[in-house]
């Protein structure tokens, strides 16, 4: 099986060079992506592929349930590098419907460490209990919670000092909330874009 992956890789690199002989040489110099993607680790949500971007065009951070927790050193390191060094223009927080991480946060079962990781989603669920309880079925509740989680993470990113300091310096950064549908491959913009201190 692994041989297949290496063979795929060889064919992919050949195709890239055939279409654009300078492709890898250019990337070797430096990366200058305009976008930071913060998405779920789910294998069905491949960041670059969904939005048609090549290597070098999308800086990517993925974790279980696309969280942006203000105490997570991994996420914060990515965010600071993207904002201060790469100076990305857009930060895309991208959730997806039917997210297993979001579902696991609220199904009441115990799994161990991940229960702590998913704690912020239980807070979101608690804060929006009335709205969620008013929905007709579990699938609708889960999908709405996936959206509410994205909206909360957009707020986390937009209120982070790395981002607010960049705005204070006059840097242009927009933080967007999107949700992706595994069922039809389409992204929906949740309309919660933040482009400066509020
Ligand atoms: Co997910």
pLDDT tens across 159-188, in order? 999 999 999 999 999 999 999 999 999 999
Residue 197 has pLDDT above 90, yes or no: no
- Ligand 1 being an ion, which residues bring their Cβ within 5 A of it? 40, 42, 99, 101
**DSSP alpha helix (H) spans, 20-72:** 23-29, 47-51
- Pick the catalytic residue: 42, 61, 141, 176? 42
- The Cα–Cα gap between 32 and 50 comes to 20
- Pick the catalytic residue: 40, 128, 141, 146? 40
168: enclosing H helix or E strand: helix 161-168
> How is residue 175 written in tokens?
């933080």
User: What domain range is 73 assigned to?
Assistant: 31-189
pLDDT band at 198 (very low <50, low <70, confident <90, very high): low
User: Could you tell me the distance, in angstroms and rounded to a whole number, from the CA of residue 171 to the centre of ligand 1?
Assistant: 31
Q: What is the mean pLDDT of residues 26-32?
A: 88
Nearest alpha carbon to residue 84 among 184, 16, 154, 163:
163
**Annotation says 99 is catalytic:** yes
**Annotation says 96 is catalytic:** yes
Taken as a whole, the chain contains a residue count of 198
Q: Read off the DSSP letter of residue 135.
A: S
pLDDT tens-digit profile of 31-90? Answer: 899 999 999 999 999 999 999 999 999 999 999 999 999 999 999 999 999 999 999 999
Residues 22 and 70 in one domain: no
Residues 24 and 68 in one domain: no
The answer for 185, left when phi > 0, alpha when psi is -120 to 50, beta otherwise, is left
Please answer whether residues 31 and 86 qualify as being in contact, where contact means their C-beta atoms are separated by less than 8 angstroms: yes
Look at residue 164 in the predicted model and tell me its pLDDT. Answer: 98
Bridge partner residues of 174 (DSSP):
90
Whole-prediction pTM value? Answer: 0.96
Please answer whether residues 33 and 87 qualify as being in contact, where contact means their C-beta atoms are separated by less than 8 angstroms: no
Residue 102 has pLDDT above 90, yes or no: yes
Please answer whether residues 193 and 177 qualify as being in contact, where contact means their C-beta atoms are separated by less than 8 angstroms: yes
Position 42 in a domain: yes
User: Could you tell me the distance, in angstroms and rounded to a whole number, from the CA of residue 62 to the centre of ligand 1?
Assistant: 10
Residue 24 has pLDDT above 80, yes or no: yes
Bridge partner residues of 96 (DSSP):
180
CATH assignment at residue 50: 3.40.1050.10
pLDDT tens-digit profile of 123-165? Answer: 999 999 999 999 999 999 999 999 999 999 999 999 999 999 9
Residues 79 and 1 in one domain: no
Q: What is the mean pLDDT of residues 109-125?
A: 97
Q: Read off the DSSP letter of residue 70.
A: T
Position 194 in a domain: no
The pairing of beta strand 35-40 with beta strand 58-63: parallel
Residues 164 and 134 in one domain: yes
Look at residue 80 in the predicted model and tell me its pLDDT. Answer: 98
pLDDT band at 30 (very low <50, low <70, confident <90, very high): confident
Strand intervals (E) in 78-185: 90-96, 174-180
- Pick the catalytic residue: 10, 15, 44, 126? 44
User: Could you tell me the distance, in angstroms and rounded to a whole number, from the CA of residue 49 to the centre of ligand 1?
Assistant: 16
Strand intervals (E) in 45-197: 58-63, 90-96, 174-180, 187-189
| Number of structural domains found in the chain | 2
């Amino acid at each position: 099986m692994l041989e297949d992956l290496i063979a795929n890789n060889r064919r992919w690199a050949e195709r890239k060079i055939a279409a654009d002989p300078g492709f890898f040489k250019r990337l070797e110099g430096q990366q200058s992506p305009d976008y930071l993607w913060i998405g779920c680790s789910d294998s069905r949500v491949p960041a670059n592929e969904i939005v048609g971007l090549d290597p070098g065009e999308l800086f990517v951070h993925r974790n279980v349930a696309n969280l942006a927790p203000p105490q997570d050193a991994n996420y914060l390191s990515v965010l600071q590098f993207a904002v201060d060094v790469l100076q990305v223009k857009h930060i895309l927080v991208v959730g997806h419907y039917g997210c297993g991480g979001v579902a696991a946060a609220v199904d009441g079962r115990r799994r161990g460490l991940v229960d702590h990781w998913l704690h912020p989603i239980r807070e979101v669920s608690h804060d929006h209990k009335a709205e969620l309880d008013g929905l007709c079925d579990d699938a609708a509740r889960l999908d709405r919670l996936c959206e509410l989680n994205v909206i909360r993470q957009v707020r986390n990113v937009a209120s982070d000092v790395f981002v607010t300091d960049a705005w204070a310096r006059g840097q242009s950064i927009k933080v967007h909330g999107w949700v992706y549908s595994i069922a039809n491959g389409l992204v929906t913009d949740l309309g919660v874009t933040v482009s400066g201190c509020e």
